[in-house]
Chain A
Amino acid sequence: MKRFIGFITKEFYHIFRDRRSLFILFGMPIVQILLFGFAITNEINNVDIAILDHSKDATTKEIINKISASKYFSIKQLIEREDDIEAVFKKGKVKAVLNFEKDFSKNLVKDHKATVQIITDATDPNTANTISNYVSSILQKYQQEQNKAITINYIIVPQPRMVYNPELKSVYMFVPGVMTIILMLVSAMMTSISITREKELGTMEILLVSPIKPFQVIIGKVFPYIFLSIINAIVIVLLSIFIFKMPVQGSLFLLGLESVLFIISALALGILISTISATQQTAMMISLMGLMLPVILLSGFIFPISSMPLPLQIISNAIPAKWFIIILKGIMLKGVGLQFIWKETLILLGMTVFFIGLSVKKYKIRLE
C-alpha cells in the first residue's frame, strides 16, 4: 500500500508541475463547453432577410409584420424587382429572400391558395434549412389564426411538438458530446502519454527492475486520472446547469456511476495505446487520430448515426462514446433510470472489461 501511495504521490507531482498538461486538464473542458455552448449553435437569431412583395396588400403586410416581429428575423431590405434577388445574395447582405406573388390576398380568397417563395442562401445548408423551417412555421401559425374564423372540414393540421428539448437548444445536444470528448481526452490521451513518457525517459526500465508489480504501475498511473476526470465531469455538469440552464432530469448518482464506467473504459484504452507506442508523440497521435476523430465523427455527437451509410453505422457500434452519449442524453435530457439504459450500460461495461483485459495482457513485464 505504501508503494502504491508513493507512486500516486509521484504522479501528482508530475501532473501539477507540468503546466501544459494542467491546462489541457482543466482549461479544455471549460473552453470547449463554452465554445460549443455559445459559438457553435444551430439556432438562428436576428437573421437578415429581404422581402420582395409584388402585391403589397393587407395580407402580405400582416405576414411581413409577423415575421419582423419575431426575434429570429430582421428585415434588412425591401426589394422591387426579381433581378435584385441575386444581387442581394451575392453581396452577402441577407440569408433569405421572401418573394410574395402578385395579388396575394386576392388569390388566397379566390383560389384558397397563394404562394410565397422562400429563397435561402444554401452555402450554409444547415442555416438555410432552419430559416426555411422557421418561416414556414410562422406562415402556418398565421394561417391557423386566420382559419379559426372559417370552418373548413376535413383538414389535417400537423402539430409538431419537440419533446425533451422544446426550444431546440443546441447546447443540450453538445453537452453530452463535449463531456464525452473531454473525458476521453483526459483519460485516454493523458494516461497513454504519461506511461510512454516513462518509457522515453528510461525510467520504465528502472521500474521494471524493481519489485513493484505491473498492475501496481498501471493502477498508480491511472488512479490520478480517474480522480481528475471525475472532477472534470462535475465541472462540465455544473457549467451546463448554471450557465446554460440545462436541466439534469435524471439521477445525478446514476450519471456519476455511468461517467466513472466510461472513464475507466477510456483509461483502459489509454493503457492499450501506451503498450503499442514507444514515444509520447506516437501516443498522442494515436489518441487523437484513433480516439478523438471517431468520437467526434461516429459517435452521433455531431452527425446523426441513422443518416450514416450502413458500414459506418456498424462501425459506430464499436465506439464506446456512442453508448455513453446515448446514456448521457437519456439521463440528462429524458430523465430515465437504469431500467431504460441497462443495455447501453452493459455494452459499455463489456467493452471496458475487454479493454482492461487486453491492456493487461499486452502490458510488458520486459523491454520487448
Chain B
Amino acid sequence: MGISVSNISKSYKDLKALQNISFEVKPNELFGLIGPDGAGKTTLFRILTTLLIANEGEATVAGLDVLKDFKEIRKYVGYMPGRFSLYQDLTVEENLNFFATIFGTSIEENYELIKDIYVQIEPFKDRRAGKLSGGMKQKLALSCALIHKPKVLFLDEPTTGVDPVSRKEFWEMLKRLQQKGITILVSTPYMDEAALCDRIALIQDGEILQIDTPENIVKQYPKTIYDVSANNMYQLINSLKAYQHKHSVYPFGEFVHYTDTRSDFNPKELKTYLEAQNLSNISIERTQATIEDSFMELAK
C-alpha cells in the first residue's frame, strides 16, 4: 500500500524537471517531500497520480503501476493539488457531495473518516467555496480528497499560503489520518514542517539530496554550528564572510549560523577578529543544526 519510485526522470523541452528520482514510501508512512518552488515536487506528484507520464523510470502506488494500472490507481488515491482546486461557485456541501458521487460513494458512507475535519467547516456548509478563508478552503479540499477513503493520499503543498494556526491544525489532522491507516505523501517548501514527517526527502532542481528521518538528517550534519550575533547584522555578515577560515555563513533570524573549516576551531579567536572589525555585543554560541542547515549544506 506504499509508494515505490525508481529512477524516474522527466523533462519539459530543455528543462529537466526530475532527474533519476528513486525512493520508497512504506505503507502507512507520513512521508515529506521537502524542497523550494521549482524543485520538481509537483511534477513528481503528477506522475504518481497518473496525470503525467515519466520519460524514464518506473513507479508503483499501492502496488499498482502508474502507467499500466492508471485506472485502478485513480480509484484508490486521494489527491489535493497545490492550487485550491474546488468549484468556487458551489457551496461547501455541494462540493463534497459532488466529489462523493463521482467516486461512487456518499458523504454518509464515509463520514467517519472526514468527521474530524468536516465538523470544523460544517457550520459554513451553505457558503460558496470561493468565499471561504484560506484555512477553511484547505480543510474542505482535504475532506473532498478523503471522501472515498483513499489508501494513499497525495498532498501537494497543502500549507502554502495558509496562516500558522491553520498550518498547525492541518498537520495534526494528517497525524490522525495516518493513524487510520492511510499512507500520506506530502510536499512542502517549509523546512520547519519536515520535523513533522516520519521520513523526508530533500529535493532541489529535480534531484533528491537526501532521504532519511528528520532526526537522522540533522544528526548527519558534518559541522558544528555557531549562533553568532553582534550589534550590526549587515557588517557582521560581511565580516564573517571575509573571515579566512569560514566554511559557511548564513543569516538565520536574529543570528548568523557560522561553521568553520577547522576541526579545532576556537570561538574566542573569531570573537577577537570580529572585535577588530569594529563590532560590539558579540556573542558566539554552539547551536543545533536544523533541516534548513542540512539542506543548504547538501545543496551547496
Contacts and interface: CB of A to CB of B under 8 A. Distances in A.
Interface in A178-204: 201-203
Nearest to A7: B102
B50 A366 contact: yes
B74 interface: yes
Nearest to B52: A367
Contact of B81 (A10, A17, A206, A368): A206
Given A211-B104, A367-B52, A205 B81 contact: yes
B8 to A, nearest CB: 15
Given A205-B51, A206-B79, A3 B101 contact: yes
Contacts of B84: 202
Nearest to A15: B89
A6 B102 contact: yes
Interface in B10-67: 46, 49-53
B205 interface: no
A28 to B, nearest CB: 21
A116 B75 CA distance: 85
Interface size class of B (residues with CB under 8 A): 20 to 34
B71 A211 contact: yes
Contact of B87 (A14, A209, A210, A366): A14
A209 B49 CA distance: 6
Which of A6, A7, A206, A210 has the largest number of chain B CB atoms within 10 A? A206
Contact of B51 (A18, A211, A367): A367
A71 interface: no
A366 B104 contact: no
Contact of B102 (A18, A202, A210): A210
Contacts of A51: none
A246 B237 CA distance: 86
Interface string A103-146: 00000000000000000000000000000000000000000000
B88 interface: yes
B50 A10 contact: no
Interface in B214-264: none
A173 B75 CA distance: 54
A253 interface: no
Contacts of A81: none
B158 to A, nearest CB: 14
A14 B128 CA distance: 12
Contacts of A10: 87, 90, 94, 98
B295 to A, nearest CB: 28
A218 to B, nearest CB: 14
Contacts of B103: 210-212
A201 B52 contact: no
Contacts of A367: 46, 51-52
Contacts of A6: 97-98, 100-102
A2 B51 CA distance: 25
Contact of B101 (A2, A13, A208, A366): A2
Contact of B85 (A9, A13, A206): A206
A125 B217 CA distance: 84
Interface string B83-117: 11111111000100111111110000000000000
Contacts of A14: 87, 89-90
A203 B77 CA distance: 16
A19 to B, nearest CB: 11
Interface string A336-368: 000000000000000000000000000001111
Nearest to B12: A368
Contacts of B85: 201-203, 205-206
A219 interface: no
A366 B49 CA distance: 10
Contact of A210 (B53, B74, B83): B74
A368 B52 contact: yes
Contacts of A205: 46, 51, 79, 81, 85
A9 B50 CA distance: 27
B137 to A, nearest CB: 12
Given A2-B104, A3-B102, A211-B74, A203 B87 contact: yes
A201 B88 contact: yes
A209 B51 contact: yes
A18 B84 CA distance: 20
Nearest to B79: A209
Contacts of A3: 101-102, 104
Interface of B: 46, 49-53, 70-71, 74-75, 77, 79, 81, 83-90, 94, 97-104, 144-145
Given A14-B90, A206-B81, A211-B103, 14 more contacts: A2-B104, A3-B101, A3-B102, A3-B104, A10-B98, A203-B86, A206-B85, A208-B51, A209-B49, A210-B99, A211-B75, A212-B102, A366-B50, A367-B52
| 4 pairs of A and B residues whose beta carbons are closest in the complex | A6-B101, A202-B85, A367-B51, A209-B79
Interface of A: 2-3, 5-7, 9-10, 13-14, 17-18, 201-203, 205-212, 365-368
